Every structure is written in structure tokens, then in C-alpha cells.
Amino acid sequence: MGNAIYADDGHRVATPASLDATWEALDEHGGFAWIGLYRPDATELDAVAAEFGLHTLAVEDALSGHQRAKLEQYADTRFIVLRPARYLDPDERVEFGEVHLFVGANFVVVIRHAEAPDLAQVRDRLEREPELLARGPLAVLYGIVDRIVDDYAPVIAGLENDIDEIEEQLFTGDAAVARRIYDLSGEVMEFQRAVKPLAQMIEGVRARLPESDPAGLELRRSFRDVADHVIRITEKADELRQTLQNALQVHATLVAQRQNEQMQRLSETSLKQAEQAKKISSWAAILFAPSLVAGIYGMNFHAMPELSFPFGYPLALLVMAGFSVTLYLVFKSRSWL
């Protein structure tokens, strides 16, 4: 937990060690309090809620986590949920976290439910620009949103690299590519759910900043710059999702093409086998006729009339040859031979 009190000029005037000390320092110095909590328990969050009058529903959401990116207004307090993301290169996956903020007139409570981002760096950056912190709690909101949006760029780069690898895998016949496309599509959709609400959320904050006030006008410009980054990232995420959908269609086409080629090869093999079967059947039929005549003629019964016929043997050979030639010509005309 990190607590600090900032004066109206944006400089830190106190670093309380506890929540009770934070309330006392805020009463003493004025300005606004920046309270940082990392996965707080119900006791810590209830103490903060009681001090600043936070809405019960928002406190329940902040305590339980697993919220979508959103901006809700409760009287004079804004409840913001942000979804930071980082690309884990060794695992080739995107890790999502949650940051909840309660932003009031004289306080900002930041609740972190993940290791990233390192909000200490955001605090250091803002403290080096006291003129920015002098604009109040909304300056802290701007700094945190700006950091989270900047961290989206490496995520986009990592996803693009994964998609490039998938495009190379598509034509290698790797069976695992389909699963990788589905997994990556899920990460891209989750990333879109984290990024897309930001544009409307930022516009909701900008709409309540007075243009007549120089500090408010400068914050409007700062938030506008972040919104431009969000729009570009959103468009890039949409392109990545479309690319993955195209890759999935190409993969399905390639799979179907390979299946068709296999079916064609099977059909060709079947045709060849059928041709061989025709030839074998044809020769079997051709040989069957003379074998039948020879078998009957060779039984040598004493009463067989052809035994005493002087032309019986040549006639038998002629009949066998005739049957064979006739069958050969028939099968040849039908392209069986």
C-alpha cells in the first residue's frame, strides 16, 4: 500500500504510514490523497469506503474483482475499472489484470488486482510534473490510463508476431495450427473487450471537465491524446481479429483441399484396382471355357461317343480355341483387356 498527500500545487506534502494517518494528514494539509492498495481485504476497503463515502455496490465490485472495463458515476465519485494487459513472450500469451479507481474531489483510491502495471512508476512520473498533479485526482486517473494504454503497444506487437508465425504454419500441414488460431482469437477478443470501452470512458471524463478552466482544458487535451491512442489500438485489434478469421478460413480451405486430394488418390487407386479386377476376371473367363471342355473330354468314360470319332480331339481343341478367342474379343471390345 502506498499513501500520499499532495498540496494544491502538486507537490507531495505527506507520506502517511497508515489509513488513519492518511485521514489526519488530509485534514491537516488539504489538497488530495492518493491511496494505493494491492489486493486489499474487506477490512481495508471498508475503512476507505467509510472515510470517503464510497457506494456499496462499487466497493463490492472492487473487492471481488473480475469486472469488465467500465466507468460508473456515484454522486461525486467516479468508479473506473481498467484492464491492463502484458504479453508474456516465453509463454506466447497475453496476461490480463485489473485496476480499480475511485476518483473523488479530494481523493483517488487505486486498487490493483495484478502485478502489472507498476503504478509506482506512474507516481514517480507524475511527481516529476507537479504542474500536472496540481490539476487534482483526475490527473492521477490520466497518468494511470495513459500508462495502461502505452502498455497495450507491446501486446499488439506480440500478437502480430504470433499471427506471422501462424501464417507460416498454415502451409506446412501442421495439425496444431487450428488450435493455436482458436487460442489466439480468444486472446484478441479478450483484448478487444479490455480496450474498446476506453474510448467512451475517456469521453465521459472529458465531458465533465470545464473548458473555461485552464487546468480543465489542459486535462481535456491530455485525455484526448490518450483517446487517440485507444482508437488506433482498437483499430489494430480489429485488424488482428479479421486476420485470424481469414487464417481460419484459409486453414479450413487447405484441410478440405488435402482431403479432396486424398479422396482423389483413393478414387484413382480404386479405379486401378477395378481395372485389374476386370482383367483378372476376363482372363479367368477365357481360361474357364477351354478348361471346362478339357475337363469333360478328359474324363475318358468308355461310352463317350467322341472317343471313337476320328476328329474328336481336333474338334475339342477347335471348340476351346473358339471359346477363348470369342471371349477375348468380347472383353477387348468392352475395354476390359
Q: What is the mean pLDDT of residues 294-298?
A: 67
| % of the chain surpassing 90 pLDDT | 41
Please check whether residues 291 and 252 belong to one and the same domain: no
Q: Which structural domain, as residue segments, surrounds residue 105?
A: 2-257
Q: Give the closest residue to 166 by CA, choosing from 88, 248, 233.
A: 248
Claim to verify: residue 126 and residue 191 sit in the same structural domain = yes
CATH number at residue 243: 3.30.460.20
Within a domain: 38: yes
Q: Are residues 187 and 218 in the same domain?
A: yes
**At which of 198, 228, 257 does a domain end?**
257
What's the CA gap between 335 and 337, in Å, rounded? 5
The whole-number pLDDT of residue 312 equals 66
- With respect to residue 270, please indicate whether it lies within any of the assigned structural domains: no
User: Do residues 206 and 241 both lie within one domain?
Assistant: yes
Q: What grid cell was written down for 271?
A: 479405379
Spatial distance between the Cα atoms of 140 and 153, rounded to a whole number of angstroms: 21
Indicate if 147 and 214 belong to the same structural domain: yes
Question: Is 267 inside a domain boundary?
Answer: no
The answer as to whether 264 is a domain residue is: no
Give the Å distances, CA to CA, from 207 to 112, 222, 231: 26, 13, 18
Mark whether 160 and 290 lie in a shared domain: no
| pLDDT of the residue at 302 | 60
Question: Which range is most confident: 219-223, 263-267, 286-290?
Answer: 219-223
Instruction: List the helix and strand counts (H, then E) for the chain.
Output: 9, 9
The pLDDT value given to residue 49 = 92
- Tell me: the pLDDT tens digits for 174-225? 777 888 888 889 999 999 999 999 999 999 888 887 766 776 788 888 899 9
Supply the pLDDT for residue 72. 93
Same domain, 295 and 250: no
What's 97's DSSP letter? -
Render 197-263 in DSSP notation, one character per residue: HHHHHHHHHHHTS-SSSHHHHHHHHHHHHHHHHHHHHHHHHHHHHHHHHHHHHHHHHHHHHHHHHHH
* Of the residues 227, 257, 287, the one at which a domain ends: 257
Assess contact for 33 and 12: CB atoms under 8 A.
Answer: no
> How confident is the model over 301-319, as a mean pLDDT?
66
> Quick one: CA dihedral 194, 106, 36, 135, positive or negative?
positive
Q: How are the residues of the chain apportioned to helix, strand and coil, as percentages rounded to the nearest 5?
A: 65, 15, 20
The answer to whether position 12 is within a domain reads yes
Asked if the model's pLDDT at residue 132 lies above 80, the reply is: yes
Could you tell me if residue 301 is inside a domain?
yes
Residues 285, 246: one domain? no
Cα–Cα distance measured from residue 262 to residue 243, given in angstroms and rounded to the nearest whole number: 28
For the stretch 50-99, pLDDT in tens is 989 999 999 998 988 788 899 999 988 999 999 999 999 888 889 999 99
In a domain, 263, yes or no: no
Please report whether residue 265 resides in a domain.
no
Q: Are strands 85-88 and 93-96 parallel, antiparallel or unpaired?
A: antiparallel
Q: What is the mean pLDDT of residues 264-274?
A: 74
Quote the number of domains for the chain: 2
Q: Are the C-beta atoms of 99 and 122 separated by less than 8 Å?
A: no
Is the pLDDT reported for residue 25 higher than 80? yes
* Reported confidence tier of residue 109, pLDDT bands at 50, 70, 90: very high
Q: Are 138 and 177 part of one and the same domain? A: yes
Q: Which residue has the cell 489509513?
A: 19
**Alpha carbon 263 to chain centroid distance?**
32
Which residue, 182, 103, 187, is CA-closest to 152?
187
Asked if the model's pLDDT at residue 270 lies above 80, the reply is no
Residues 53 and 198 in one domain: yes
β-bridge mates for residue 103, sequence order:
78, 108
Same domain, 239 and 293: no
Q: Is the domain of 253 the same as that of 283?
A: no
